[in-house]
Amino acid sequence: MPTNLFTPDEQQRIVDAIRQAEKATSGEIRVHVEPNCPSTDPVERAIELFARLGMHQTKEQNGVLFYLAHDDRKFAVVGDKGIDAKVPANFWEATKELMKSHFAAGEYAKGLSKGIERAGEQLKQYFPYASEDTNELADDISFD
């Protein structure tokens, strides 16, 4: 992992944003970061990683993956079938626009945190936390 992309504090802020967002929902959020996108399409790569990370296995199909290929300046946000069917049509694009404004300023951790917060609000609305919910996926950032 490039130590210059996220400081330890920034990494912790992203993990905290994931935990905070997941507190009120049964949804699952992951962040995956790598220097280069091996595909020309970051969405295609995010879908591939979604499967590799086991995100399609959530009970309510409500996983959301934030993907960032920092050297290539590419990123994507993808949601599983359950959440995708419920959010407004422009939700993912609007979330990406919010993140892009921070990324353009070099604020990757802030952009990811804001996107995670926004996804968490939607997950909370459509998939509220229930007492029997378990954290189905790790909250840490995965790196290639």
* pTM recorded for the entire structure: 0.92
Question: Looking at residue 70, which CATH number applies to its domain?
Answer: 3.10.310.50
The verdict on residue 144 lying in a domain is no
Print the domain residue range for 62. Answer: 25-124
The verdict on residue 71 lying in a domain is yes
Write down the pLDDT at residue 24: 86
Write down the pLDDT at residue 94: 94
Residue 49 and residue 80: Cα distance in Å, rounded? Answer: 12
* DSSP annotation of 36: S
The verdict on residue 137 lying in a domain is no
Write down the pLDDT at residue 132: 65
Write down the pLDDT at residue 72: 94
The verdict on residue 59 lying in a domain is yes
pLDDT along the chain (144 residues), means of 10: 75 95 91 95 97 91 96 95 92 95 94 96 90 70 85
The residues with which 69 forms a beta bridge, in sequence order, are 34, 74
Residue 27 and residue 127: Cα distance in Å, rounded? Answer: 6
Number of domains in the chain: 1
Residue 138 phi/psi, 5° resolution? Answer: -60, 150
